[in-house]
Structure 1
């Protein structure tokens, strides 16, 4: 949830002074005024992500140079000569007043002018580049995949992989992977290998709630990563190539499993996974590693990266809800549902909740009146109002 929405709601609905809101949420007053002006002019569109493209590009080439590039392309091609970006760049520098334009810029202009014929069968040069972390524990990748037992019963295999060395940190079999199992496997890996500097996972709810609309807050893994100062990274939706190493690991694992006697139980599958993990880490050189090293050798060869500091990384949310008949509103924190007492006098009132980590303000959605402000106690399911209880209800005689 954007902090901009949190700030705007506090000012426009709750009617709090700008200076108080800026001080409360750690932002500049000038930024609050900018947000207010943008919200008044654009409404809900003010919360949409904005392009970071600069208003001007002083280093961009002018229309004369762009036209010269197109003309050189046509002249050289008409003469049967090479008319690629590097050749055009050379001609610009040597025959046209030492105009210096990069080959990449020339290629973009030729493409925009429709002078480049795409060749889908030709593999792009960028596809040959490998992206990997520089140190062990700099980034851990996680993913899970489905695998059937001998009788057809479905299971799921969860794996944690070191990005730099491809070392398999944890490979476990489960009936179904849940958020609590992901957190347990991660903690076990941290106890054994130390905490990583970052993690890279997909967008499943067991890894992150960022695509859930902010309704459930951070899950257990996300809370643990922030507590340890570990940077959390997630791939783009519908783009599994971001977690390519984990995907290739799973493919290698499944190919090996198909060559074994099919496991009949979850325990037999886990035994096979343990055997494969040992072979993969210590007895199987990885083609992508230098000098055909094993993942275990690569993992031990360099100093380990460590987490940073995420103490300033607040979790900001704005939630709408309605107080129930008993005067209580609910909020999920770290995957646990908490009940917050407001009072029976406000039953069925529509409210807006401004949430920054454990700090919560509950305001009347219609009037902006502050109904309750509290710091959530994560160890208690019910957050009492602190007010003395009223007189006992009189029960009618039968």
Structure 2
């Protein structure tokens, strides 16, 4: 070892009386190196003869200390807010001129003991993601539990767009029932139009397919299933015992609960709804998503061409749209690049309807009674469209 050789050289001179020139010849080193060793010995004793690091005393590429401090501060702040506090989330919040790579940020967090490495976790490169091709191609829904300040258990139902991870709806209820599933679904459809398909678990509020026999034969659909069938929306359900089928909304509920846990417990359902509204704004517009290449769900949902339900009859494809007639008895529909006003009649104001659209032909069906209340052939030269006379 180098240390043993350095020690032998010095001891041969100090205690053995060997000259510097003879020691240089004996040990095949330069006289300059021997003088360096003697100087170290005179200052630090035998410990000074140990090999020294060749690393530079200063790394010009090292992250400045103020930036390192800011990274650790952001980590604490995001954790306290119940938000994602990983390296990429911190990277997004640093100014471009002082923004190390996510890998460097992770090393700084580890050095600062702000994270615990988890080598046992499955690498993200091994994940196989399924994703709808367009916004409104598939909506996922599920509900989770939360407690009010007095310990009352509350259920929160959510609707999430599969393509954009866009939170369409979140509301709290004492218990989620079949009618609440329908109301929450239609509330989301009122704002964002109808999806082409839905994905849920096999809970009775979503489906009765498994209620009568293992194969779901001869079952009577519940109101939600019938609604989807009426609107020509494909209903998908995860396999029993495989919650990973609804992995996106399961993961979303973890994010939601972490955010709620960082805030004072709500006292009423109204208080919890206000928190959910705040979270929805943060989740959709302020929080970049790893699976969306660091874009926000709002950006991805609104930049794509939206999917919609389709109904095939007599070899013609009908586009299905859910809408509500306004107070003047008029429904709006975009055709040939312009917004058209379809006159249905004041007797049907505020009625929820299904509009079947095939080119210029429109059929309007009441959701209240299921009857056809108006038919149109749109005249592209006109804004206001009168309905066909019976």
Q: TM-score, structure 1 length as denominator?
A: 0.46
**What's the TM-score, normalizing by structure 2?**
0.47
Q: Relative contact order (alpha carbons < 8 A, sep ≥ 6): 1 or 2 greater? A: 1
Higher-Rg member (1/2): 2
